[in-house]
Amino acid sequence: MNEKRTILVIEDDKYISHFIDISLSKEGYRVLVAETAEEGMFLFSSHRPDIVLLDLGLPDRDGIDLLRDLRAFSDVPILVVSARGQEKEKIVALDLGANDYITKPFYMGELMARIRVSERSLQNTEFEPRDSQFSCDWLTVDYEKRKVYVSGNEIHLTPTEYKTLLLLIANKGKVLTHNYIIRQIWGYEGGDSKSVRVFMANLRRKLEKDTAHPRFILTEVGVGYRFADE
């Protein structure tokens, strides 16, 4: 990383923004802190940050509105940080285009990992690296031959399962809502999320060694799925 990434933190709680500021600065990021939505909008337009950390409970406006406004003109990665733990709100934020969602209280290490994921997605859009295969622990996916290996043994995936696995890998580290997966794989909206769950459970049984401790396909209960990023 030769240039310093700029992160805009929109958060009204001083203690939280303070420790986020310190931790991120230590990691070598440039940090901007805004306490209100208005200030956040101003800093966003004047500094063009690379990543935005957005709190939903802001004093002047709802964070969701701000998210909608930002998405109207920018594709910048937005990580929502909120104490609202309800799945519905997570889904709303993710469907509106937030890249990730972190519930308070969180561990700094986790926040860092999520920020790194967003960074990687930035690089991906910049350089479009296309390896001929993906490999992680015991899972290997050969893109050219369209083959999937678990511990070196080839396993059979249906075309849809393969497509889903590619989608998950392409977005690894990011939460994909049930709706998003339905839209991407089956191509229509508002399908029933039960079939996605069953489908994912089947895929997981083919890939995972211990389905109770999944290594790759992690569930965000009530929200969607995330492919382990490291």
Q: What residues make contact with other proteins under the rule CB under 8 A?
A: 87-88, 105, 107, 193-194, 197-198, 200-202, 204-205, 210-214, 218-219, 221-222
Give CA–CA dist 11/33, Å, rounded. 7
**Strand intervals (E) in the chain:** 6-10, 30-34, 51-55, 78-82, 100-103, 133-136, 139-142, 147-150, 153-155, 175-177, 217-220, 224-227
Given the complex with other proteins, which of 130 and 205 has the nearer CB atom? 205
Cβ atoms within 10 Å of 201's Cβ, excluding its own:
12
Is the CB of residue 40 less than 8 Å from the CB of residue 66? Answer: yes
Minimum gap (Å) between residue 42 Cβ and other proteins: 34
Minimum gap (Å) between residue 179 Cβ and other proteins: 13
Minimum gap (Å) between residue 55 Cβ and other proteins: 18
Task: Please give the full DSSP string across 169-214, using - where no structure is assigned.
Answer: HHTTTSEEEHHHHHHHHT--SS--HHHHHHHHHHHHHHH-S-TTS-
Is the CB of residue 47 less than 8 Å from the CB of residue 6? Answer: yes
Given the complex with other proteins, which of 68 and 204 has the nearer CB atom? 204
Is the CB of residue 190 less than 8 Å from the CB of residue 198? Answer: no
Minimum gap (Å) between residue 26 Cβ and other proteins: 14
- Side chain identity at residue 217, one-letter code: I
Given the complex with other proteins, which of 41 and 112 has the nearer CB atom? 112
Given the complex with other proteins, which of 82 and 121 has the nearer CB atom? 82
Minimum gap (Å) between residue 21 Cβ and other proteins: 18
Cβ atoms within 10 Å of 200's Cβ, excluding its own:
20
Given the complex with other proteins, which of 156 and 194 has the nearer CB atom? 194
Given the complex with other proteins, which of 130 and 213 has the nearer CB atom? 213
Given the complex with other proteins, which of 125 and 222 has the nearer CB atom? 222
What are residue 93's phi and psi, to 5 degrees?
-60, -45
Q: What contacts 154, CB < 8 A, 6 or more positions away?
A: 147, 148
Minimum gap (Å) between residue 160 Cβ and other proteins: 15
